[in-house]
Amino acid sequence: MKNFYRVLSLVTLIFLIPFNLNSAEKIEYLKTDWSFKGLFGKFDRGALQRGYQVYTEVCSSCHSMKYLSYRNLAEKGGPEFTIEQAKAIAASFEVKDGPNADGDMFTRPGRLSDKFVMPYDNVKAAQAANGGAYPPDMSVLVKARGGGVDYIYSLLQGYEDPPAGISLDDGVYYNKYMYGNKIKMSNQLSDGLVEYGDGTKSTVEQMSKDVTTFLMWAAEPHLESRHQMGFKVIVYLTILTILVYFSMKRIWSRIKTEV
Amino acid sequence: MSEHDYTPKSKFGKWFNDRLPLLTLANHLTDYPTPKNLNYWWTFGGILTFCLITQIVTGLVLAMHYIAHADMAFDSVEHIMRDVNYGWLIRYIHANGASMFFLAVYIHIFRSLFYGSYKAPREIIWIIGIIIYLLMMAAAFMGYVLPWGQMSFWGATVITNLFSAIPLVGEGIVTWLWGGYSVDNPTLTRFFTLHYLIPFLILGLVVLHIWALHVPGNNNPVGIDIKKPSKDTVPFHPYIVIKDGFALLMFMIVFAFFVFYTPNILGHADNYIEADPLVTPAHIVPEWYLLPFYAILRSVPDKLLGVVAMLSAIFILAALPWLDTSKIRSAVFRPLYRQFYWILVADVLILGYVGAMPAEGLYLLIARVATAYYFLHFLVILPILGYKEKTLPIPLSITEPVLGGSPNLAAARNTESFNK
């Protein structure tokens, strides 16, 4: 067994090193307790629904979410709107379709199978409307940023006046969590900006948390089933390992050597 | 060996075996006499086989849904993650499986270095192993390009550009590799093809690796030649099978933890941004398992010499059986080598660390010292050590670690504790 501990310690050592690499120049992000972290982590359904509201009413005027469909909103492990609600949400968007039998493009109300409608026709149009900066697609944004949810959560609340000596160009804003502190998105959230249907007070902090939770789900729609399956797999493997350990002891006991 | 006496019991078995001796092979594999003192460091061969099979099986499924086209690759990966049934599971197993594969292969290689498993008569096993390791790096690198994220694209650009260091024909070779004048769709499609091919080459080499192993038999922690079969050996089945199985299960628990709870921690966040030839990421970093070589590459100021140094760092391993002049295999009986071994382990870990850091200031200095030491270890220390080192007395067999009246009792105790 002694060698076995040696294997384990080396494994840990090797993995600790790369983990620390990325944290070398880390800024302290704002902390909040995320319900989806941990062994049994699940999304807060209310936060997802409120987060979707913040996304549609605020973010979606510039940021696309091209990998999501309206049907996802009603799927298990997500915001879990009812099918009727999701249908109504989809129908509230105008979707360009076609060509029809006459060869013409036309618009129609959205369906569950449609992807989220994009705010701009293409990247160039998005850049032209935003002073040359492209508002990134939000489908996997949380996974595409080193700090993940903590980073997005902090960034949304990180706007402040620039320190003395830093001058900002037109259309550039100061954010203490942004890489290089300069960001082309202005402060979007203010207290009471959206009116939550469930009566939750829409403080900047609350909206940041809700929309970040929504973005986490958007990036990892199967997170809940992943956690559930993971727990089962690890329990199964552990029991099997224990059984195999005792059979191994039994088999090797025929020979006078310690395993 | 016992398999020569083997005859199948059933009539059909005998008829079949006379025409194709598959049953004889199976009998050889189950009866294969294995040293009974193998410790858990020896279980990584089986673990690596598991890793290879896992990568091939998950890779096959991924290939059914993945689209190797610069405009669609990123989208198709997201399609796998969202809409393919359990696609997220298969992709996360495949992506983390690569890291697990390398973790296991590094332990396997360093086990070999500690116990002198590369020495005569096992040089061919060792060299095949180095070729497998090289192919693994090629497969992993090309696999990382396939999602067509920012790190994929820029990693591919940096690594393929290394070939431009070759005098005269370098630029031409790079254009030929790319299939154009930059990393683009032709590069992606050929990388996909090669990424699909290499695992099967590895599989073939693994068969040769095991075949070559079964000629002299396993080395063991004591590092002495043993009689087979004898009191020192046990049949592969069930003794080694159950022990390998136990170790594999432990390994799978670690593997599962990564897949289910931190599936993206070993990757780079930038690879979730679609490739953009116009935007260069702030730091271009390879995957963790390639970092030591990346550090060696960057520690040399000249591009061509850097590439030469990096490749030599790998190829020097192939010459190891001849660079190590010591007659004694196991580090257990080589007190000085044992210390240099651990310094080498630390050296490689340091190289990996600075490989992830920007190549400037103190990091660059550390990288240069560590690179120099790496070559010093293989080219100077090992050859000299074989002549100068005072080794401890080695036992004559595994069952009798010390034959009565060995002058060095400390060595005896040392051996004993190590085997436990």
Q: Which domains does chain B have, with CATH numbers?
A: 24-284 (1.20.810.10), 291-389 (1.10.287)
Is B405's pLDDT higher than 50?
no
Q: Do B352 and A18 touch (CB under 8 A)?
A: yes
B357 touches chain A (CB under 8 A): yes
**Which of B82, B233, B289, B362 best tests the A interface by mutation, with the highest count of A CBs <10 A?**
B82
pLDDT tens digits, residue range A100-139?
Answer: 999 999 999 999 999 999 999 999 999 999 988 999 999 9
Predicted local distance difference test score (pLDDT) of residue A13: 60
Predicted local distance difference test score (pLDDT) of residue B400: 65
Is B328's pLDDT higher than 80?
yes
Q: How far, CA to CA in Å, does A14 sit from each of A68, B106, B107?
A: 37, 10, 10
Who has greater pLDDT, A25 or A73? A73
Q: Do A234 and B253 touch (CB under 8 A)?
A: yes
- Report residue A250's pLDDT band, with 50, 70 and 90 as the boundaries: very high
Residue count of chain B: 420
* Contacts of B11 by beta carbon, 8 Å cutoff, 6+ apart: none
pLDDT tens digits, residue range B81-117?
Answer: 999 999 999 999 999 999 999 999 999 999 999 999 9
- Report residue B417's pLDDT band, with 50, 70 and 90 as the boundaries: very low
Nearest C-alpha in B relative to A251: B239
Q: Do A241 and B269 touch (CB under 8 A)?
A: no
Mean pLDDT of B222-241: 92
B238 touches chain A (CB under 8 A): yes
Peptide bond into B229 cis (omega under 30): yes
Reported ipTM: the value is: 0.90
Give the distance from residue A206's alpha carbon to the nearest chain B alpha carbon, in angstroms: 26
- Report residue B151's pLDDT band, with 50, 70 and 90 as the boundaries: very high
Give the distance from residue A195's alpha carbon to the nearest chain B alpha carbon, in angstroms: 31
* Least confident segment among A6-20, A217-231, B56-70, B165-179: A6-20
* Residues facing A95 on adjacent strands: A108
Nearest C-alpha in A relative to B358: A21
DSSP type of residue A152? H
- Which burial class, exposed, middle or buried, applies to B404 when counting CB atoms under 10 A from its CB (0-12, 13-18, 19+)? exposed
Predicted local distance difference test score (pLDDT) of residue A166: 87
Task: List the structure tokens of B55.
Answer: 């990568």
In chain A, pLDDT over 90 holds for what percent of residues? 80
Predicted local distance difference test score (pLDDT) of residue A171: 87
User: Which chain B residues are within 8 Å of A21, Cβ to Cβ?
Assistant: 353, 356-357
Q: What does the alpha-carbon distance between residue B218 and residue B36 come to, in Å, rounded to a whole number?
A: 10
Predicted local distance difference test score (pLDDT) of residue A26: 60
* Contacts of A20 by beta carbon, 8 Å cutoff, 6+ apart: none
What does pTM read for this prediction?
0.92
Of A3, A21, A72, the CB nearest to B356: A21
Give the distance from residue B326's alpha carbon to the nearest chain A alpha carbon, in angstroms: 25
* Least confident segment among A6-20, A153-167, B122-136: A6-20
Q: How far, CA to CA in Å, does B84 sit from each of A206, B361, B412?
A: 34, 47, 59
B252 touches chain A (CB under 8 A): yes
Is B288's pLDDT higher than 80?
yes
Predicted local distance difference test score (pLDDT) of residue B420: 42
